[in-house]
Amino acid sequence: MTKRVLILVGTKKGAFILDGDAARQSWQLRGPFCEAWPLNHVIANAETRTVYATGGNEWFGPAVWKSEDLGETWTHSSEGLKYAEGEEPIKCGWSLSPGKDCIYAGVEPAGLFRSEDGGVTWAHVEGLRNHPTRPNWTPGGGGLNLHTIIRHPGDGNQLWIGISAVGVFHTSDGCKTWTPRNVGIRNNYMPEGQQFPEVGHCVHSIAMAAGSPGRLYQQNHCGMYRSDDGGKSWSQIENGLPSTFGFPCASHPRDKDTFFLIPLNGDILGRYMPDAKAAVYCTRDGGETWEDLREGLPQEQAFFGVLRQAMATDKLDPAGIYFGSSSGSVFASADEGGNWKEVARHLPTITSVETLVVE
C-alpha cells in the first residue's frame, strides 16, 4: 500500500525532495541537499530506498552522493571514479542507474563506471571507451556526456547507453563490447548524403517501453524515434508533434504504447515551449498519433524549457507524470497528464526529475 510518493529533483544548485501524500495531492519541499552542488541526476533504488545523486563541483570535481534515509543525511564518494593517469579528468557525473547487482554511473567526458558496493567505490567499465569509433566522438553543446543508461529488465548483460553527441550504444555481453545502434537516425547537421552516420548523433534521451525490452523511444536533437528491435533500427514518429526538437521522454509504467515527451519550439529559437504555452505530448499508439496535455500548465509567457532528465512517471495507477523546468518549477499530474499542478517554484534550474513510491 502506498504511503508516500517522493519526487527527487536534481538542480544546478543541489538536490531537492518533494514529499507527497499517497493521493499525490499535497507536496512538501525539502532541500537543498548535497551542499548545493551542481547535480545532473538524482534517483533512488526503489528496493533499498537509497537515494543517489551525481554531478560535479567546479572546485572539487565529480562525486556520487548517497542517502539511506530518504534525504535526511548524505555521504559522498568518488573513490575509483576516475580515468587512467594522464587522461582528461572527469568533470562530472551525469546519469545513474541503481539496480540489484550494481549501480552504473555515466560521466563527462563520456564513460561508464560501475559500483558493486552501493556507491562506495567505483570501477571504470573500459569496454565502451575502447570502441573504435571513440576518436570520432565529438561533444555537443552540453559536453561529451553519457547521460542515459537503460538496463534490460531480464538480462543483466544487456545495456543501452546514450552519449551526446555520439549516439546510442548497446552491449549484450556485460559491457565488454558495444555496438552503435543508430540506424535510421538522421543528423541534420551533416551534408546531404552523410546524414546517417554510424555515430555522431545528438541523442537527447531514450526510454524503454514498459514490459517490452525491444521497444525503445528516443528524443533526438533532430527528431523523435521509435525502435521495435532494441535499437537496431529506428523509425520517425513525429507526425502530429509541434516540433521535432525536445529533450526528455518518459514511458508509461504499464502500457508499452503510451509515451510522453515535451517538444520545444525548435533548436534555434530559444528552446522554450512552443508559442510559450506549456504542454506534454502523449501518444497512446506507439507514436502514430499524439495529443497535447496542458490542463493546468501555463498557457502564456511559458518561456522555459525542460532538460533531458527532467521528466518521469511513477508506477501508480493511474500513473503520475512529473517534470521540472529550466525556470525552477515542478509540475505534477496524478492522472496521466489530464490535470497538472505546479507543486514547486523558484528552484534553481532543474536538471533531473525521478520518483520513488514508498510503500
Residues 185, 171: Cα–Cα separation, whole Å? 19
Measuring CA to CA, which residue among 37, 230, 40 is closest to residue 143? 40
- Applying CB under 8 A, does 82 fall inside the site for other proteins? yes
42 with 50: CB under 8 angstroms? Answer: no
Q: In the sheet that 75-77 helps form, which strands lie side by side, from edge to edge?
A: 39-45, 50-57, 61-67, 75-77
- Applying CB under 8 A, does 89 fall inside the site for other proteins? yes
135: helix, coil or strand?
Answer: helix
CB of 80 to other proteins, least distance (A): 9
CB of 132 to other proteins, least distance (A): 24
Q: Which is nearer to other proteins, 35 or 267 (CB)?
A: 35
Q: What count of residues does the chain have?
A: 359
Q: Which is nearer to other proteins, 120 or 269 (CB)?
A: 120
- Applying CB under 8 A, does 60 fall inside the site for other proteins? yes
CB of 84 to other proteins, least distance (A): 7
- Applying CB under 8 A, does 85 fall inside the site for other proteins? yes
- Applying CB under 8 A, does 153 fall inside the site for other proteins? no
- Applying CB under 8 A, does 83 fall inside the site for other proteins? yes
Q: Which is nearer to other proteins, 87 or 126 (CB)?
A: 87
Q: Which is nearer to other proteins, 107 or 224 (CB)?
A: 107
Residue 224 CA: distances (Å) to CA of 65, 265, 275, 347: 33, 14, 20, 29
DSSP codes, 217-274: EEEETTEEEEESSTTSS-EE--TT-S-S-EEEEEE-SS-TT-EEEEE-S-SSS-S--G
Q: Which of residues 69, 87, 116, 291 is near other proteins by CB under 8 A? A: 87
Q: Which is nearer to other proteins, 87 or 288 (CB)?
A: 87
Size of the site for other proteins (CB under 8 A): 19
DSSP 8-state class, residue 75 = E
- Applying CB under 8 A, does 76 fall inside the site for other proteins? yes
Whether the upstream peptide bond of residue 165 has omega within 30° of 0, thus cis, is yes
Q: Which is nearer to other proteins, 61 or 197 (CB)?
A: 61
What does the binding site for other proteins look like in residue numbers (CB under 8 A)?
A: 35, 58-61, 63, 76-79, 81-87, 89-90
